[in-house]
Structure 1
């Protein structure tokens, strides 16, 4: 099954090269093979449009005690004061743009170089390949061996950056168990949204192929490393659901941000359970 990451055996002529079987039909599939890549492209495009609007908006990202995951940690001097939150003024007043642009590069880079997302947008946007058993429209294909796609190899380094970001968002979730006056022991609908979001973010992050390799890679004898072996098995179970977790966490982070936006902009008040 082609995934869009294998170099073509006949790069000069692609699948229509002289060394390939001469099949007149573009493909032999009779199902709606185009539906999956089309839906994938539509879903990713919708998130790109939404996240771009929110990242450059620079407003309505904090509604005590909730902070949008797009803006945390807030690293600029122009950040909205967040009571108890990770508001670190590392960048001075010279940064006049949205503070979200300073932090989103890390989760964005992590997802952009993710093995599943690479397959998804290669197929959805570049038709490389459009689907299994459907020929590529491109005559030449070099895989990820040339610039700029060779930069996809930095995925594991983005994983190292994604882990502390997830840790900070976990801290934000703990702070969500307060009321608007910062008193502990309260929970609202926003708290539930934040808890579900951070759970999915951690599940997606730890299901990463790089994480699985870090905890169990380069081991010759699992029996000599029982703890790493158990962690490798656990990461492997998550990795089997990497695609589902990628989409679930993508949706949850957008929902969490939009919820904070609605509360911060005064559309409705956060319902409190206790």
Structure 2
């Protein structure tokens, strides 16, 4: 008996296709846009994080999320909620207490994994397009083994969202008393979007209702689970929206702090 596979009489042999893919649409467009978008955001964020200036507006208590909370000894007092206990070396971000956890939360996010696996690593770049790698080990080896820590980075991201919320609240209380301007709107929109992205996380959905066997016995948690599930299907959109709101908020605070234009005030 031979090992050669047999086929039914009259059946055709499988076609030999020399092309890597038969797709004729612009399958490469989505990975390309992802590379451009993420690269541009990372470049902007990196420059801003290490500028060490134009992050705080004393007159209105506007603090950019890229510097919240400020913990190096170069930080101004109003931007330092937890003290200034790190040396002001240029290589140390002023928000070194929070930025690493936010970066890890985004890097291990289920959507962002798909985004940079497909666009930067071409693994695979699109459906029906072959992987550019000869072997596949999944997320069972270093450094991808660290993706399993995403659920813990979620807790850190939730705490940081609370800090950003506190920043937005404090911005209504300037040295001259209560005030409300366009900067407050920008900060509030950013905080709302950050919360929507954070709680739409798959880990949050599992924490709320993933282990329940009988939803009927937990009506409150079921209601919360359905709300989070509604957001969860929009997790990809929220991931990109929050990149935009973060950059916009930072740019607005930077522009006002640098004196490029004045904040539009509605009250005081």
Given the two structures, how large is their TM-score scaled by the length of structure 1?
0.87
After superposition, the C-alpha distances for 1:200-249 in whole angstroms (9 at most, x for unaligned) are 00000000000000000111111111111111111000001000000001
Task: From 33, 39, 42, give the equivalent of 2:36.
Answer: 42
Pick closer, same or farther for the CA change 1:21–1:141 going to 2, 3 Å.
farther
Native 8 Å contact 2:72 2:85 kept in 1: yes
Question: What 5-or-longer segments of structure 2 have no aligned partner?
Answer: 1-13
Q: CA deviation at 1:79?
A: 1.1
Pairing 1:85-234 to 2, within 5 Å after superposition:
86-89=80-83, 91-93=85-87, 97-179=92-174, 181-184=175-178, 186-234=179-227
> Higher Cα Rg: structure 1 or 2?
2
Q: Which residue of the partner structure matches residue 256 of structure 1? A: 249
Give the 3-state SS of the residue equivalent to 1:41 in structure 2: helix
Question: What 5-or-longer segments of structure 1 have no aligned partner?
Answer: 1-19
Q: Which residue of the partner structure matches residue 14 of structure 1? A: none
Give the 3-state SS of the residue equivalent to 1:102 in structure 2: coil
Pick closer, same or farther for the CA change 1:221–1:68 going to 2, 3 Å.
same
Give the 3-state SS of the residue equivalent to 2:249 in structure 1: helix
Task: From 6, 23, 31, give the equivalent of 2:25.
Answer: 31
Equivalent-residue separation in structure 2 for 1:98 and 1:215 (angstroms): 34
Please report the RMSD computed on the Cα atoms of aligned residues, expressed in angstroms. 1.7
Native 8 Å contact 1:73 1:86 kept in 2: yes
After superposition, the C-alpha distances for 1:71-121 in whole angstroms (9 at most, x for unaligned) are 111222321121xx5532252447663312332111111111100001001
Runs of 4+ in 1 over 3 A off after TM superposition: 20-23, 92-98
**Number of residue pairs matched by the alignment:** 251
